[in-house]
């Protein structure tokens, strides 16, 4: 088997692992896998000399399809996380306002009985 084919097969396997990492929302692992996959693709491209062109194209098309799927998953995950962050910020503002109001109310109801 051509060395470039071996590297491309490894890149495909990493893309599958990356998809699982995104499904589990393990972003650190997904990023690490994506970087390793990019390195493998660069190495495979440099070693492509003598590799049957149509087989190379098939591998690259499969990787392109997987990349599009990964990108879609990552974008939807990013949008969902951004929504959660926005909701948490709104809740934090609400609670901060509530704390401020209750602190002011406590001050307003305090009076010195000695006077």
pLDDT digits (tens, 9 = 90+) for 7-31: 999 999 999 999 999 999 999 999 9
The secondary structure of 10-54 as a DSSP string is: HHHHHHHHHHHHHHTT-HHHHHHHHHHHHHHHHHHHHT-TTS-HH
Q: Burial of 15 by CB count in 10 Å (0-12 exposed, 13-18 middle, 19+ buried)? A: buried
Q: In the prediction, which pLDDT does 60 show?
A: 92
Q: Which residue has the higher pLDDT, 20 or 97?
A: 20
Beta carbons of 7 and 47 less than 8 angstroms apart = yes
**In the chain, pLDDT over 70 holds for what percent of residues?**
90
106 has pLDDT over 80: no
34 has pLDDT over 80: yes
pTM of the model: 0.72
Q: What is the dihedral of CA 101, 106, 108, 110, to 10 degrees?
A: -170
Sign of CA dihedral 66, 67, 71, 77: positive
């Amino acid at each position: 088997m051509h060395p470039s084919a071996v590297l491309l097969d490894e890149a495909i396997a990493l893309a599958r692992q990356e998809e699982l990492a995104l499904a589990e929302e393990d972003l650190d692992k997904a990023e690490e896998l994506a970087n390793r996959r990019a390195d493998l693709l660069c190495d495979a491209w440099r070693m492509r000399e003598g590799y049957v062109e149509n087989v190379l194209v098939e591998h690259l098309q499969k990787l392109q399809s997987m990349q599009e799927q990964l990108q879609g998953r990552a974008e939807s995950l990013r949008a969902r996380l951004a929504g959660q962050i926005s909701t948490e910020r709104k809740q934090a503002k609400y609670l901060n306002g509530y704390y401020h109001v209750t602190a002011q109310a406590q001050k307003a109801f305090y009076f010195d009985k000695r006077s």
